[in-house]
Each structure stands twice: as C-alpha cells, then as structure tokens.
C-alpha cells in the first residue's frame, strides 16, 4: 500500500494533568523529541508538530522539526491534528500523540498495514503483562474480534474474565494512543459531536465506534509507558532500565 501519509504530533503544552509534559526530560531528552524521532524513523511520511504554545514551537525549531501553531481552542488532539493537516493532500493522516515517547516506528508501520483491510481508522495494542495495569484507569483496554477489529475501548478491565469461563489464559490488551485516519474518516470524525460513551469514559475513539466507524488494531508485543502525570517520568526511567 502506498505510504501516502502525513504524521502530525499534537503537542499541547497546557495539559491539565501535567502542564509542559511534552518538554519534560527523560534521560536528558524531551518527551516530544522521543516522539518526533520515532515518527521520522517510521518512514511513513513527513512529520509536523502541532501546538498551541510558542515554547513548543521554539523547541521544535531547535531540533529541526517542522511545527504548526494551532488554535488554543482545539478541544482535542485530533482537532489539532485536523487543523495542522488542512493544507496537506496526503491520503492518510497519522495522529501520533506527543506523550508516547516509547512508540516504536515498527508499531506505526504495523498499524498502517492494517488499513489495507478497509478500516476507517487504525491503531495498535499489546498484551498486558503487568497485572497492576488491568485495574489502572490510565491504562486503556481494548476488546476486539479475531480479525483485530476494535469492539470497545475502556478504562475498566475488558473483556471481563468470568471465573467459569474456559478461556483461562485469554489476554487483556492495552491501547497505544495513536490513530491512523483515512483523510475522509478524519474529516467525518471531527464534524461529529462528542458522544455519550466518549464523554463518560473520556476516550475520543468511542465517538468513532458509536457512529459506526471501524477501527483496526495491530497487535504488537510491547508498549512503553505514556506520560500522563509527573509520576510517569519515573515509570519511563524504570522502563528504560528494564530494556537494558
């Protein structure tokens, strides 16, 4: 499939839970720079950072990254991606969230390949190996069918493992927070109003599912921690230490 993609990294500085997190350092390198380098390494297309803050704009210039200053009124990362991608003619738009410093280029490529099955949107997930994540609401879980089509995303443990089930070793899967959109799917998505389940779980991908859009999930072996709170920086250091 032709890699006709634009990768947009929404990098909001004024995060509610952790202001400035995209410029926080892990091993001396900003979270955003980790993301940018993985996006470039994927080779799927040009990369642009989208932000509402000149501090991020200046940082992007310092690492040689293209950056778009977008409206502070954008309600979500996807809205910011859409604004930054308006001038592009690329067929696929990738929303590579700026708080996923351990995203592997290979994960992006694997998700992109699933688009050949005709999905509106693609993303990725990995089996949960740390049992503490199963009940952690910051770890978003996925229920999907055998073909890898997402049925639901939740902050709760899904699917429920009934004690009488014969599927004793059925894995839970956690979601990696990025999305690959067909341009037409992105245009449709941003025009839809927030949906009830989206507002309930605070997960914008539920808006797509509630409106009949399809999401394909590439299964990968491992996902690193996202940066949502200052405590996640310590988790990131531990993750890097384990990789050694």
**What's the mean per-residue pLDDT of the chain?**
94
**Predicted confidence (pLDDT) at residue 47 exceeds the cutoff of 70:** yes
Which pLDDT score is estimated for 225? 85
Which pLDDT score is estimated for 9? 97
**Predicted confidence (pLDDT) at residue 147 exceeds the cutoff of 90:** yes
Question: What's the rounded mean pLDDT across residues 88-95?
Answer: 95
Which pLDDT score is estimated for 177? 85
Taken in order 155, 9, 148, 41, the sign of the CA dihedral is negative
Question: What's the rounded mean pLDDT across residues 29-34?
Answer: 96
Smallest CA-to-CA distance from 104 within 244, 221, 11, 24 is with: 221
Question: What's the rounded mean pLDDT across residues 61-71?
Answer: 95
CB 102 within 8 A of CB 220: no
pLDDT > 70 in the chain, percent: 99
Q: Which residues pair with 144 in a beta bridge?
A: 150
**Residue 42 region by backbone torsions, left for phi larger than 0, else alpha for psi between -120 and 50, else beta:** alpha
Is the pTM higher than 0.75? The answer reads yes
**Predicted confidence (pLDDT) at residue 1 exceeds the cutoff of 80:** no
List, in sequence order, every beta strand (DSSP E) within 107-163: 121-127, 141-144, 150-154
d(Cα 38, Cα 104) in Å, to the nearest integer? 6
Which of the 8 DSSP states describes residue 149? B
pLDDT tens, position by position, 207-219: 999 999 999 999 9
What CATH number is attached to the domain comprising 166?
3.90.550.10
Question: What's the rounded mean pLDDT across residues 129-143?
Answer: 92
Q: How confident is the model at residue 92 (pLDDT cuts 50, 70, 90)?
A: very high
242 three-state secondary structure: helix
Segment (H or E) for 218:
strand 215-219
What residue numbers bound the domain in which 141 lies? Answer: 5-243
Burial class (CB in 10 A: 0-12, 13-18, 19+), 89: exposed
Q: Count structural domains, the chain.
A: 1
| Cβ atoms within 10 Å, residue 234 | 11
Q: Which residues pair with 121 in a beta bridge?
A: 181, 215
pLDDT > 90 in the chain, percent: 82
**Predicted confidence (pLDDT) at residue 168 exceeds the cutoff of 90:** no
Q: How many CA atoms lie within 13 A of 121 on its CB side?
A: 26
- Sorted by sequence, the CB contacts under 8 Å of residue 219 that are 6+ apart come out as 124, 125, 126, 127, 148, 173
Segment (H or E) for 3:
none
Of the ranges 46-50, 87-91, 96-100, 232-236, the best mean pLDDT one: 46-50
What tokens were used for 141? 């879980």
d(Cα 49, Cα 63) in Å, to the nearest integer? 11
Burial class (CB in 10 A: 0-12, 13-18, 19+), 14: exposed
Taking every pair of Cα atoms in the chain, the longest distance, rounded to a whole number of angstroms, is 57
pLDDT tens, position by position, 170-190: 999 999 989 999 999 999 999
Which pLDDT score is estimated for 109? 95
Question: What's the rounded mean pLDDT across residues 43-49?
Answer: 96
| Cβ atoms within 10 Å, residue 158 | 17
pLDDT tens, position by position, 190-243: 999 999 999 999 999 999 999 999 999 999 998 888 898 898 999 899 989 888
């Amino acid at each position: 499939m032709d890699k006709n993609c634009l990768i947009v990294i929404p990098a909001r500085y004024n995060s509610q839970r952790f202001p400035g997190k995209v410029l926080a350092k892990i091993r001396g390198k900003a979270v955003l720079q980790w993301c940018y380098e993985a996006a470039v390494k994927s080779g799927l297309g040009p990369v642009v950072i989208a932000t509402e803050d000149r501090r991020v704009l200046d940082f992007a210039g310092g690492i040689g990254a293209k950056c778009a200053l977008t409206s502070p009124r954008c309600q979500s990362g996807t809205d910011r991606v859409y604004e930054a991608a308006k001038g592009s003619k690329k067929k696929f738009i990738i929303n590579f969230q700026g708080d996923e410093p351990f995203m592997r280029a290979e994960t992006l490529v694997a998700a992109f390949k699933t688009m050949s099955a005709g999905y509106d949107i693609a993303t990725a997930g990995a089996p949960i190996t740390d049992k503490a994540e199963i009940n952690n609401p910051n770890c978003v879980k996925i229920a999907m069918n055998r073909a890898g089509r997402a049925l639901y995303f939740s902050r709760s443990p899904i699917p429920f493992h009934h004690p009488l089930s014969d599927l004793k070793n059925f894995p839970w899967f956690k979601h990696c927070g990025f999305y690959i959109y067909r341009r037409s799917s992105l245009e449709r998505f941003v025009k839809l109003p927030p949906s009830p389940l989206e507002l309930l779980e605070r997960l914008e991908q539920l808006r797509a599912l509630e409106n009949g859009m399809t999401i394909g999930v590439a299964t990968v072996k491992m996902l690193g921690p996202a940066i949502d709170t200052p405590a996640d920086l310590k988790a990131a250091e531990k993750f890097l230490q384990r990789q050694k």
